[in-house]
């Protein structure tokens, strides 16, 4: 047995994976040291507050919302295979991307940055409208994808029904 196979059996992945994981931990440690060099108490308070806000408020909120969406858009089984096709994903994906855009750009979307126009000479009042347009486009594209997939999934059933109608009309 080679040493790579023994390592893989004990570790569960290749030595390159271990090297990359250790490098990412080293990079995270370096970033943490650099971050905490300034206002250590403020940064620690921000992390604890963000963790508590996420775990105590946001996680239950979006878990309940997701469960309600799952019940509303109950998955259906495809015609040929017995695989669940959760249609809730057609709502999850655009909502996630829209939420991520809001998270990244919320100061500009909610007009919380007064010095933006002075610093960039660009208007700051267009971000809310653009974010709403992007969100609408994401949901429209998702709805179009859903409708096309439903149409394609029903094609064999429609063909079978058409053949049955032709067979019935031919026997009359």
pLDDT of amino acid 70: 83
Q: What is the pLDDT of residues 15-45, one digit of tens each?
A: 888 899 999 999 999 988 888 887 888 888 8
- Give the integer Cα–Cα distance in Å for 24 and 17: 11
Q: What local confidence, expressed as pLDDT, does residue 76 receive?
A: 53
Q: How far is 76 from 91, CA to CA, in rounded Å?
A: 15
Query: Strand 76-77 to strand 84-85: parallel, antiparallel, or no bridges (unpaired)?
Result: antiparallel
Instruction: Enumerate residue ranges in the chain where pLDDT < 70.
Output: 1, 75-85, 172
């Amino acid at each position: 047995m080679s040493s790579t196979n023994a390592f893989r059996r004990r570790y569960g992945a290749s030595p390159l994976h271990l090297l990359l994981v250790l490098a990412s931990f080293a990079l995270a440690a370096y970033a943490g040291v650099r971050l905490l060099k300034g206002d250590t108490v403020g940064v620690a308070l921000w992390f604890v507050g963000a963790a508590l806000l996420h775990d105590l408020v946001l996680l239950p909120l979006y878990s309940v919302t997701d469960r309600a969406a799952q019940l509303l858009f109950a998955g259906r089984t495809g015609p040929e295979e017995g695989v669940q096709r959760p249609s809730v994903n057609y709502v999850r994906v655009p909502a996630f991307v829209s939420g991520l855009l809001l998270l990244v750009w919320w100061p500009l979307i909610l007009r919380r940055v007064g010095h933006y126009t002075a610093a960039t000479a660009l208007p700051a009042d267009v971000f809310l409208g653009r974010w709403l347009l992007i969100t609408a486009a994401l949901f429209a594209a998702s709805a179009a994808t859903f409708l096309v997939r439903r149409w394609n999934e029903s094609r064999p059933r429609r063909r079978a029904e058409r053949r049955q109608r032709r067979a019935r009309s031919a026997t009359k």
